[in-house]
Amino acid sequence: MTIFTIGYEETTPARLLAALTGAGVKTLVDVRALANSRRPGFAKRALSASLEEVGIGYRHLRALGTPAAGRQAVREGRPDDMKRIFATTLAGTEAQAALADLRDQAGREAVCLLCLEADHRRCHRTLVAEALGLPVRHLVA
C-alpha cells in the first residue's frame, strides 16, 4: 500500500494524466483548499472530466487543503510558517476524519494526492502523505 503524490506546477494536463496512468493510479485526491487554477485543464471541473476519460476517479478533500494563511506564507517564502499553520489544520477534527477516510481508500486502491507545487518538499501534500503513515512515492509529470 503506497500513497502517491504529484504537483502540476510545471506540467501539462496530458503529461499529468500519463504519469497517473503509468503509475496505475485509480483515484486522484485533490488536496487543494480551493480546487481552482488559472492554468488550463487544472480547475476542478476540467481536471475531473479529463481524469474520467482515462478511467481515473477524482475526489476533492478540501479539509486537507492549506488555509489562506498557509498559502500566503508560501507566497512570501516562509515554508516553515506554512508547515506550522498546516499542522494546526491537520490536527483538527475535520482533517483527521478526512485522513482516516483517505487511509481506508488507499488500502483499497492506488491513490494520488494532487496539489500545485512541483517540488513535493515545498508542498503540504507531503505532510498529508506522511500523516497517513504509508509509504510515499512522489510522481513527476
CATH topology classification for 3-138 = Protein-Tyrosine Phosphatase; Chain A (3.90.190)
Least confident of 6-20, 49-63, 68-82, 99-113: 68-82
Give the position of cell 478533500: 61
- Alpha helices (H) along the chain: 13-23, 44-53, 68-75, 79-90, 93-108, 124-132
Give the confidence band of 106 by pLDDT, cuts at 50, 70, 90: very high
Asked if 7 and 114 touch (Cβ cutoff 8 Å), the reply is: yes
87 Cα distance to chain centroid: 16
- CA nearest 141: which of 12, 43, 41? 12
Mean pLDDT of the chain: 95
Higher pLDDT: 46 or 123? It is 46
Domain ranges of the chain: 3-138
Higher pLDDT: 74 or 45? It is 45
DSSP 121: G
**Average pLDDT in the 99-123 region?**
94
The per-residue pLDDT for range 72-95, each reduced to its tens digit, is 998 899 989 999 999 999 999 999
CA distance 123 to 113: 11
Per-residue pLDDT at 1 exceeds 90: no
Per-residue pLDDT at 122 exceeds 90: no
Q: What's the confidence (pLDDT) of residue 51? A: 98
